[in-house]
Structure 1
Amino acid sequence: MRWIVTIDHHGGCMGLGEDVDGVPARGNPEQAEALPMDFRLHLASGEVLFEGRCSDIDADWWHGFEPLNYLWQPFRCRRLSYRRAGADEPWRWLRP
């Protein structure tokens, strides 16, 4: 699943992500604009560390875990919330 970090509240991960084949790859804001979902990665306390854009989590929830899996160990991200890009809907927690 393609995903790109577009806002970094922690430092050092701007543009971090994966390409459509799951290979680690850096991206830029122009590439992120084409992706349909916004996501946030949180600490267990709820603090947001990273925000970004990704492929459609509703269509493929299993691969929606990829940003969380990638940043779980190095930054202690424990939760992912998401919503449609540009929507004014509440953030939803990613749950299988």
Structure 2
Amino acid sequence: MRWIVTVDHHGGCIGMGEDADGVPTRGAPEQGDALPMEFRLYEASGNLLFEGRCGDIDADWWHGFEPLNYLWQPFRCRRLSYRRAGTDEPWRWLRP
């Protein structure tokens, strides 16, 4: 699933993500505008580290774990919340 970090509260990860084939890549944050979901990644203590955009987690929750899996070790991301982009829906925690 395509995903990209668009806001970096930690440092050094703007544009980090994967292309549609799951290959790690960097891009411009504006490339996320075409993706339907927003996500947020947090430390275990609840501090927000990164925000971004990704493919439709509701349609493919398994691949919704990709940003979390990729940033788990290097930045200690432990939780991911998401919602449909451009809405005021409440943020939902990613759970299988």
**Shorter-chain TM-score above 0.5:** yes
> Which amino acid letter does the alignment assign opposite residue 24 of structure 1?
P
- Please give the TM-score of this superposition, normalised by the length of structure 2: 0.98
> Which amino acid letter does the alignment assign opposite residue 91 of structure 2?
W
2:8, 2:14 within 8 Å by CA — same for their partners in 1? yes
Over the aligned positions, Cα root-mean-square deviation in angstroms equals: 0.6
User: Where does residue 88 of structure 1 map in the other structure?
Assistant: 88
Report runs of 4+ in structure 1 exceeding 6 Å deviation.
none
> Which amino acid letter does the alignment assign opposite residue 2 of structure 2?
R
Q: Unpaired runs of 5+ in structure 2?
A: none
Paired residues, number: 96
- Please give the TM-score of this superposition, normalised by the length of structure 1: 0.98
Normalized per residue, the structure richer in strand is: 2
User: Where does residue 51 of structure 2 map in the other structure?
Assistant: 51
Q: Unpaired runs of 5+ in structure 1?
A: none
Structure 1 Cα separation of the partners of residues 14 and 23 of structure 2: 17
> Which amino acid letter does the alignment assign opposite residue 66 of structure 1?
E
> Which amino acid letter does the alignment assign opposite residue 63 of structure 1?
H
